[in-house]
Amino acid sequence: MTEKSKLNRRFFMKSAGATALLGSAIGSGVAIPFSASAKGMGHTSMSVAYDLNEDFNRIGSGDAKWDGIRKANRPHDVKFPMGVADMDFRTLPHITEALQKRLNHQNWGYEGPPADYLDNIVAWNKTRYDQGVPKGNIVNCIGVLDGVLSILRSFNPGGAKVLIHTPGYSGFFSVIHSAQFMEVENPLKLVDGRYEVDYDLMAEQIDADDIKVFLLCNPQNPTGNCWTADEMKKMGDICNSRGVLVVADEIHCDFVNKHSKYIPYASLGEEYAMNSFTLKSTSKSFNLAAHRTGYMFTDNTEYMDKVKSEGHQRGLLHTMGTIAANAAYKHGAQYMDDMRSYIDGNSHFLEKFCAENMKDVKYKVHEGTYLAWLDCSAVAKKLGGAEEGQRVGDLLKAFFIEKAGVNVNPGENYGKNGVGYMRMNLGTTHAKLHGALNAMKTAIDAL
């Protein structure tokens, strides 16, 4: 038996029940059912090619999500770390195969990325999103935020404030501060369970603070919005008419629930593509954060030349990281589809669980990302509210860790209007999600 065959046997379809159904399901297109514990709780079908229900143990690997959180919160036992935004599934087997093949070579001289690395980035975006990524204007970056930092330093030399939507990705705050700038929060408005942009305020803020850069998150972390073409054109028109650069962080683009659609900002038209940068990475889509692989691109060659000339790092990534990313884009389409379906099931399960069993926590199925934005304000009220100098989110975080063994992220990490909310990671098995929710319910019921 070849090494590749051994790896496939080890990693593909570990569940005996799923294996028995695999052949007929693929041939007929019939969905394979989840385990009995998942039926009726939002899950309608399981992975066709990969067993995402596998209880894959990450403890002991030194990762931030499991080992780091558990160590930081001793003596409390954090059985369900649901904060850090990475996933608990075993990696795509083709990635392991590609890395193992390179390891077996046993020589580590100077080496560039795989010859078809850029071609596979272009192909992935074209095939899945009909987005034409300009191959000649793709530049590597250690991570999306590293690319954002280079762009900020290149296009905001006067130190103007930077516009962001809030609730918004917490990393935007840190990278803006790293560039020695300050943010302006444009608070999103919650309307009928979905966040909307205050366009008039957005224009006023740009004019008042002479803003030169707007950071767009699409799909949006943590609200889960997949911005529509009309919504993004309104944002883009405001920016284009005022000479404001749009920097689109689209790292979550591969995670979109079934009722929604991701539209690349740069696909809106030439005027939008020419006044923007887009940043993506396999680190989120294929859980390769430890490999530090990101990339940015723009249709505007002058823009990219400016970033390079202003001191962006040389664009060299770790050899193993580019090998892993390349294998993901070459072979990961089915794996990605399976994860999207699985996480869509998790989000519906969460919505139903809250509505029926944990009514002090409000949640509506989001559109994109694998992150859930939970309204826990009723729980905070039951806890008596935050003390002076304490954030509501920190009160809730401590409660869920100490009484439920569940780690979720404070809403204030994502802006001033995140008070009372907590962010939960759904990139995990149904069993872990169900266990975390039961523990949270028990803790809340005891108040």
pLDDT range class, residue 430, cuts 50, 70, 90: very high
Asked whether the beta carbons of 428 and 403 are under 8 A apart, the reply is no
Q: Are residues 350 and 387 in the same domain?
A: yes
Does 147 fall in a domain?
yes
Q: Are residues 223 and 304 in the same domain?
A: yes
- Find the helix or strand (DSSP H, E) in which 320 lies: helix 319-331
Residue 72 Cα to chain centre, angstroms: 23
Q: 421: how many CB neighbours lie within 10 A of its CB?
A: 28
Does 96 fall in a domain?
no
Segment 46-105, tens digit of pLDDT? 445 788 888 878 777 777 677 677 777 788 888 999 998 899 899 999 999 999 999 999
Alpha-carbon span 154 to 139, nearest angstrom:
15
Query: ω before 222 within 30° of 0 (cis)?
Result: yes
Does 95 fall in a domain?
no
Least confident of 74-83, 184-193, 279-288: 74-83
Rg of the chain in Å (alpha carbons): 22
pLDDT reported for residue 49: 73
Q: Are residues 216 and 287 in the same domain?
A: yes
Range 87-103 burial, b when 16+ CB lie within 10 A, else e: bbbbbbbbbbbbbeebe
Least confident of 68-72, 108-112, 203-207: 68-72
What is the share, in percent, of the chain residues with pLDDT greater than 90? 74
Supply the DSSP symbol for 357.
H
Q: What is the CATH number of the domain that holds 70?
A: 3.90.1150.10
Q: Are residues 268 and 348 in the same domain?
A: no
Domain tally, the chain: 2
Beta bridge partners of 166: 187
pLDDT range class, residue 158, cuts 50, 70, 90: confident
Q: Are residues 75 and 178 in the same domain?
A: no
Supply the DSSP symbol for 165.
E
Q: Which of 331, 348, 372 is the last residue of a domain?
A: 331
Does 313 fall in a domain?
yes
pLDDT reported for residue 313: 67
Alpha-carbon span 392 to 401, nearest angstrom:
14
Q: Are residues 161 and 285 in the same domain?
A: yes
- CA-nearest of 244, 240, 254 to 215 is 244
HSE on the CB side for 378, CA within 13 Å?
12
Q: Are residues 314 and 252 in the same domain?
A: yes
Q: Please give the backbone phi and psi of residue 158, each rounded to the nearest 5 degrees, phi first.
A: -80, -5
Q: Which of 282, 298, 331 is the last residue of a domain?
A: 331
Average pLDDT over residues 186-193: 96
- pLDDT higher for 280 or 61? 280
pLDDT reported for residue 33: 31
Residue 422 Rama label (left phi>0; alpha psi -120 to 50; beta): beta
Q: Are residues 356 and 258 in the same domain?
A: no
pLDDT range class, residue 315, cuts 50, 70, 90: low
Q: What is the CATH number of the domain that holds 282?
A: 3.40.640.10
pTM beyond cutoff 0.95: no
Q: Are residues 188 and 274 in the same domain?
A: yes
Task: List the structure tokens of 24.
Answer: 């007929």
Segment 405-420, tens digit of pLDDT? 999 999 999 999 999 9
Average pLDDT over residues 412-441: 97
DSSP 103-129: HTT----S--S-TTHHHHHHHHHHHHH
pLDDT reported for residue 314: 63
Does 311 fall in a domain?
yes
Q: Quick check: 20 pLDDT over 80? A: no
Asked whether the beta carbons of 299 and 274 are under 8 A apart, the reply is yes
- CA-nearest of 303, 322, 327, 282 to 134 is 303
Domain that holds residue 384: 3-90+333-445
Q: Are residues 326 and 346 in the same domain?
A: no
Does 441 fall in a domain?
yes
Segment 330-359, tens digit of pLDDT? 999 999 999 999 999 999 999 999 999 999
Q: Which of 272, 305, 331 is the last residue of a domain?
A: 331
pLDDT reported for residue 24: 29
Task: List the structure tokens of 80.
Answer: 């369900």
Q: Are residues 84 and 69 in the same domain?
A: yes
pLDDT reported for residue 12: 41
User: For all residues of the chain together, what is the average pLDDT?
Assistant: 88
Range 33-62 burial, b when 16+ CB lie within 10 A, else e: bbeeebeebbbebbbbbbbbbbebeeeeee
Q: Which amino acid is at 273?
A: A
- pLDDT higher for 54 or 145? 145
Alpha-carbon span 139 to 216, nearest angstrom:
19
Query: How far from 239 is each of 156, 185, 242, 271, 389, CA to CA, in Å?
Result: 14, 15, 5, 11, 37
Does 59 fall in a domain?
yes
Q: Are residues 339 and 421 in the same domain?
A: yes
Average pLDDT over residues 248-265: 96
Q: 124: how many CB neighbours lie within 10 A of its CB?
A: 23
Does 278 fall in a domain?
yes
Helix, strand or coil, per DSSP, at residue 236: helix
Alpha-carbon span 309 to 303, nearest angstrom:
10
**Which are the contacts of 45, defined by CB distance < 8 A and separation ≥ 6?**
31, 32, 33, 34, 341, 345
- CA-nearest of 317, 340, 424, 332 to 91 is 332
**What is the 3-state composition of the chain as percent helix, strand, coil, each rounded to the nearest 5?**
45, 15, 40
Alpha-carbon span 164 to 145, nearest angstrom:
14
- CA-nearest of 142, 169, 175 to 156 is 175
Alpha-carbon span 215 to 231, nearest angstrom:
15
Q: Which amino acid is at 247?
A: V
